[in-house]
Amino acid sequence: MGSASADEKLDVIVIGWGKGGKTLAGTLARAGQRVAVIEQSSQMYGGTCINIGCVPTKALIHDAESRHGAGYDQQAFQEAVQRRDKLNAMMRAKNFSMLDDLESVLVVNGKAAFTGPRSIKVTAGSEELELSAGKIIINTGALPAIPDIEGAQIGARVHDSTTIQHAQLPRALAVVGGGYVGIEFASMFAQFGSKVTVLDRGSRALSKEDPDVAREVESCLEDTGAVIISSASVHSISQDEQGATVIYERQGEVHQLQVDAVLIALGRVPNTAGLGLEAAGVQTGSRWEVAVDEFLATNIEGIHALGDANGGPQFTYVSLDDHRVVASQLLGDGSRSTNDRVAVPFTIFTTPPLARVGLSEEQAAHQGIQTRIAVKKVSEIAAMPRPKIVGDPRGIIKFVLDARSDLILGAALMHVDSQEVINLVALAMRMGLTASALRDQIFTHPSSTEALNEVLGFLG
**312, 340, 368 — which closes off a domain?**
340
Ranges of residues in the chain with a pLDDT under 50 are: 3-5
Residue ranges of E strands in 158-265:
158-159, 172-176, 195-199, 227-229, 233-239, 244-250, 253-259, 261-264
C-alpha–C-alpha distance, residues 411 and 360, integer Å? 7
Same domain, 365 and 392: yes
Cβ-based burial of 75 (10 A; exposed 0-12, middle 13-18, buried ≥19): exposed
C-alpha–C-alpha distance, residues 164 and 263, integer Å? 7
Q: Which amino acid belongs to residue 148?
A: D
Q: Is residue 94 part of a domain?
A: yes
Same domain, 253 and 278: no
Same domain, 240 and 277: no
pLDDT tens digits for range 56-99: 999 999 999 999 889 999 999 999 999 999 999 999 999 999 99
Provide the residue range defining the domain that includes 186: 158-266
- Read off φ and ψ for residue 2, nearest 5 degrees: -115, 165
Same domain, 31 and 102: yes
Model pLDDT, residue 287:
92
Q: H helices within 179-294, ranges in order?
A: 180-191, 211-223, 277-280
* 142 beta partners: 270
Angle at CA of residue 214, ends 211 and 216, nearest 5°: 110
Helix (H) or strand (E) holding 430: helix 418-430
Model pLDDT, residue 458:
77
Nearest to 253 by CA among 238, 232, 236, 239: 232
Same domain, 239 and 170: yes
Nearest to 169 by CA among 137, 192, 202, 200: 192
Same domain, 47 and 132: yes
Same domain, 261 and 278: no
**294, 323, 340 — which closes off a domain?**
340
Q: Is residue 2 part of a domain?
A: no
Same domain, 58 and 121: yes
C-alpha–C-alpha distance, residues 108 and 125, integer Å? 13
Active site residues: 445
Q: Is the Cβ–Cβ distance between 66 and 40 less than 8 Å?
A: no
Q: Is residue 296 part of a domain?
A: yes
- Number of independent structural domains in the chain: 3
pLDDT tens digits for range 89-137: 999 999 999 999 999 999 999 999 999 999 999 999 999 999 999 999 9
Q: What is the 3-state secondary structure (H, E, C) of 286-328?
A: CCCCECCCCCCECCCCCEEECHHHHCCCCCHHHHHHHHHHHHH
Same domain, 275 and 378: no
Model pLDDT, residue 221:
96
Model pLDDT, residue 3:
45
Number of other residues whose CB lies within 10 A of the CB of residue 198: 28
SS3 state of residue 96: helix
Q: C-alpha distances in angstroms, 105 versus 113, 115, 166, 307?
A: 20, 22, 33, 21
Q: Is residue 364 part of a domain?
A: yes
